[in-house]
Amino acid sequence: MKFYIFDDSVIISGANLSDQYFLNRQDRYVLIENNPKLVDFLENVFNTIAASSFQLKENGDLDLSDNCIHPFEGNKAAFCEHVSTQVRSILSTLHTESSDSMISPSSTPASDTRIYPFLQFPPFKINDEVEILMKLFSHSDNDIDVTVATGYFNLYDDYLDAILKKSNYPLTFLTAAPDANGFYNGQGLSGYVPSLYVNTSKFCFDQAKIHQKQIKILEYSRPNWTFHGKGIWIDDEKNGLTATMIGSSNFGYRSVSRDLEAQIMLVTSNEKLRSRLKEVKRKP
């Protein structure tokens, strides 16, 4: 999860807070202002996970709340169920709030922009992202155009399988060139990581040709910069809609099966905002 809350506004990002992100590491940041409903939702998720996490004390010891089941010295299944129940309770508020509760405050009275938050918390059997992306990557019509950005091109197997066997729309991947990969010139085994990502890109491209898919793979390269951007853009020109997914996921095995990921899907028919989103996609 990577979001930064200030009063009733929030920055949704895929970025961490180490110094390189403020210097020469290309990433993605989206500021949503004056949206207390979205902020409250994300803050509640954060507080729930924090309450079930170890707290680092001043002397270096780790402390866990007495109200929380210990995740490995206690009953792991009970711990996961405990956290899952609390997070699902927060998610349920998305269904009980009015349909306008997550609308961007900058939208017109016609409600031309909506925001849908969702989570991927595999240890707690919450898999919203997988459900959404499997539907997207299985979309069989050619009425949309999709771009996927990730700093680490290593798609979850089920995603790639759906793309190759079911999708029928133009699909572009944007990823880091070897010299823009964070592991470039790394010491020891880590120095080979950029080459491994090139290999996975080549495998995807070769499979796309075999299955006759409209797939392009682009590499971000900028002298002395690394690329950590991530997200999805969906353009539906027929219906005048653009959607973008913003958050922490890289769409690989770790995001699907290990990490706790928080995302939003922003959907808009506002022509000015659509143009801005397309511009970001063209010039990350």
Segment 59-75, tens digit of pLDDT: 999 999 988 999 989 89
Q: Is the pLDDT of residue 19 over 50?
A: yes
Q: Is the pLDDT of residue 162 over 60?
A: yes
Q: Stretch 76-87: mean pLDDT, rounded? A: 96
Q: Is the pLDDT of residue 283 over 80?
A: no
Cα four-point dihedral sign 93, 266, 8, 52? positive
* pLDDT tier for residue 94 given thresholds of 50, 70 and 90: confident
The pLDDT value recorded for residue 180 is: 96
The pLDDT value recorded for residue 277 is: 95
Tokens 């022509």 correspond to what residue?
271
The pLDDT value recorded for residue 107 is: 45
Contact present, 113 and 106 (Cβ < 8 Å) = yes
Q: Phi then psi for 4, rounded to 5 degrees?
A: -130, 115
CATH topology of domain 3-282: Endonuclease; Chain A (3.30.870)
Arithmetic mean of pLDDT over the chain:
92
Q: Is the pLDDT of residue 98 over 70?
A: no
Whole-prediction pTM value?
0.91
As a whole number of angstroms, the distance between CA 79 and CA 57 comes to 22
The pLDDT value recorded for residue 67 is: 87
Domain locations along the chain:
3-282
Classify 172 as helix, strand or coil: strand
Segment 102-147, tens digit of pLDDT: 555 544 445 799 999 999 999 999 999 999 999 999 999 999 999 9
CA distances from 228 to 94, 176, 184, 245, 259 (A): 30, 7, 13, 15, 17
